[in-house]
């Protein structure tokens, strides 16, 4: 499933540059994740890089975008053309 950033985000900007799919962007109040681009780093890394680097642990799974590992891999292949 895609990830999401909660309103506990402190806008520290450490998550945006580590996202290999450019899914993270600066929203009106906090950083946000585009669920159409988020693969939880499947295809790139073993763990979601934004979750690994977030200093306040505000990036949980998005219950509104439930996807299997296979779905995430298919999205990765579509995004990267691989």
Which pLDDT tens digit goes with each residue over 13-41?
Answer: 999 999 999 999 999 999 999 999 999 99
Mean pLDDT of 63-68: 95
**Helix ranges, 3-56 (H):** 49-53
> Out of 3.40.50.300, 3.30.70.20, 1.10.10.10, 3.30.70.1230, which CATH number does the structure's domain 24-80 have?
3.30.70.20
pLDDT value of position 82? 86
Question: How far, in Å, CA of 75 to CA of 65, rounded?
Answer: 13
- pTM of this prediction? 0.93
Q: Extract the tokens encoding 9.
A: 């985000």
Please give the Cα distance from 70 to 28 (Å, whole number): 32
In a 3-state reduction of DSSP, which class is residue 35? coil
Q: Is 70's pLDDT higher than 90?
A: yes
Mean pLDDT of 44-70: 97
Tell me, what's the pLDDT at 1? Answer: 78
Q: What DSSP designation does 36 have?
A: T
Helices within 5-82 (DSSP H only): 49-53, 69-80
């Amino acid at each position: 499933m895609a990830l999401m950033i909660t309103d506990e985000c402190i806008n520290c900007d450490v998550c945006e540059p580590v996202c290999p799919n450019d899914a993270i962007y600066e929203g009106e109040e906090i950083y946000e994740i585009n669920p159409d681009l988020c693969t939880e780093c499947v295809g790139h890394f073993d763990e979601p890089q934004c979750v690994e680097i977030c200093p306040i642990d505000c990036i949980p799974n998005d219950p509104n975008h439930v996807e299997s590992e296979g779905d995430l891999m298919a999205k990765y292949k579509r995004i990267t053309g691989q």
